[in-house]
Structure 1
Amino acid sequence: MDFIIKEDKNISTSQLQALYEDVEWFAYTKDLDLLQQACLQSLDVFSVWQNETLLGLVRIVGDGLTIIYIQDILVLSTHQNKGIATLLMQQVLNKYKKVRQKVLLTEEAPDVRHFYEKNGFISCDKGSLVSFAKLD
């Protein structure tokens, strides 16, 4: 596969809409300007492109020193299971290897659990940590 990786927060709303709607994350596309601002205000955004098509991205928030939070990681449905998400995750883990806390919250699914575990994450239900979330 011929693609490039970018570390750039400035992604057009049309590209974001195409990616987020493809994976059915419609809650994000209700306000595309807000989604674009969220990307711009993130600590980092790594994206994978094939020509002018956004294939996937990972968005990071946090201070970048003691904690990062992986807010979004998504790949076009036609390009899933081709190593793109792993490549994006490795970009994050390499850049922030000195950061002690790397946190994320995601939906439960066997393939999702496997993906994060193979990238070195431990589910809070299997360790000594507890996780809380308040979603409004």
Structure 2
Amino acid sequence: MGFVFKEEKLIEKDALKSLYEDVEWFAYTKDLDQLAEALTHSLYVLSAWDNDELIGLVRVVGDGLTIIYIQDLLVLNSRQNQGIASELIRRVLDRYRDVRQKVLLTEESSDVRHFYEKNGFQSCDQGNLVAFAKLG
């Protein structure tokens, strides 16, 4: 791997802006102060770096004992399909292996579904689970 992982919640706003805008998560970059503060209030933040370039990030919220919620998982478009997102998820799941509920909410697409299922997640539209969300 030509990159390193860092457990750091304080990430420069310009680096966050570049990453989030590259994957077109513009709702987050409308208020960079709020995004930076959200990271500091997160339970856990793990980022991937290639020298000084932020190339990936996962952010976890929750209590860390009974539930974690994977809030953000993003990798620069040019660095996708290199195992970075899978390694970020693997490290989160390893860190919180004793937590019973590991939850995330994402948009539906075949590649997204394949990625999460490949990494051990089960869609709530299958089996005995149900999910509800109130957005906005």
Q: TM-score, structure 1 length as denominator?
A: 0.99
- Counterpart CA distance in 1 for 2:32 and 2:111 is 28
Letter in 1 for 2:122: I
Structure-1 separation of matches of 2:2 and 2:78: 15
* Corresponding residue number in structure 2 for 1:90: 90
For residues 15 and 40 of structure 2, what CA distance do their matches in structure 1 show?
14
Aligned residue pairs total: 136
Aligned-partner Cα distance in 2 for 1:39–1:86: 20
Residue identity in the other structure for 1:87: E
Give the letter aligned to residue 85 of structure 2: A
Match of 1:5 in 2: 5
Structure 2 partner of 1:112: 112
TM-score w.r.t. structure 2 length? 0.99
User: How far apart are 1:2 and its partner, in Å?
Assistant: 1.3
RMSD: 0.5
- Secondary structure (helix, strand or coil) at the match of 2:35 reads helix
Percent identity between matched residues is 66
Q: Distance in 2 between matches of 1:120 and 1:18?
A: 29
1:3 shift after superposition: 0.8
Task: Identify the residue that residue 78 of structure 2 maps to in structure 1.
Answer: 78
Q: Which runs of 5+ in 2 are unaligned?
A: none
**Corresponding residue SS for 1:124:** coil
Q: Which runs of 5+ in 1 are unaligned?
A: none
